Structure 1
């Protein structure tokens, strides 16, 4: 349930959710967002944060994304089939299942998370 379990990212004050995709929702196509996006449903396409926005993507435990993700910050608890790109921080909880490469600057992986792909560290932009 939304807000029932605080994550380390949300503890930094970045827990404002402007957009919620509920459990019964299936989106076919690419999704461009800014701010907080919380996905409990299914997205079949790319999920991309608006350039320069302080955005946080949260993929809930039952949520599914079949496509790539590009967001400054992401908390993954659901299933992702595709690559993820983050210029700031990624957090994988114990229920995260990722099939794809993870491009990250900072990453936290909780025991139980599964990743079938490469972890690729990105250097900070100078």
Structure 2
């Protein structure tokens, strides 16, 4: 993860939400967060190197906005990753996912749209309309 990115993912776990824990409400974190329990609310990371790890026992009902994401659990909501997403074999996402880099293992599922976010400075393609000149 993060091989082509300018910012490396956090490789430590600063916060752990245990398997028997259920949180209701929005969550803002920085550094590394591992979720083994359930979160009902939006999750947002502060810091370009922050990483969210959702274990196979973890569940999130809400939108997620983090730079680096490793998923092996269930998410019901939209996911936005400004860097990279790793979907492991038991990952289940119901919602749209925006990402810059994606790694997906056999067995992972996404029930929603996949939206690739281009690198900054990468030119966007322009559709040619009837009034635009065509070079032949």
TM-score when normalising by structure 1: 0.87
Please state if 1:33 is matched with 2:44: no
Please state if 1:103 is matched with 2:103: no
* Unmatched segments (≥5 aa) in structure 1: 1-7
Shift of 1:115: 0.8
* Aligned partner of 2:109 among 103, 107, 114: 114
The answer as to whether partners of 2:17 and 2:36 remain within 8 angstroms in 1 is yes
* Unmatched segments (≥5 aa) in structure 2: 3-7, 122-136
Q: Secondary structure at the match of 2:70?
A: strand
* Aligned partner of 1:60 among 36, 55, 61: 55
Shift of 1:13: 7.1
* Aligned partner of 2:71 among 76, 90, 105: 76
Q: Give the number of the structure whose alpha-carbon radius of gyration is greater.
A: 2
| Cα RMSD, aligned residues only | 1.4
Equivalent position of 1:4 in the other structure: none
Structure 1 runs (4+) deviating above 4 angstroms are none
CA distance in 1, matches of 2:92, 2:57: 11
Shift of 1:54: 1.2
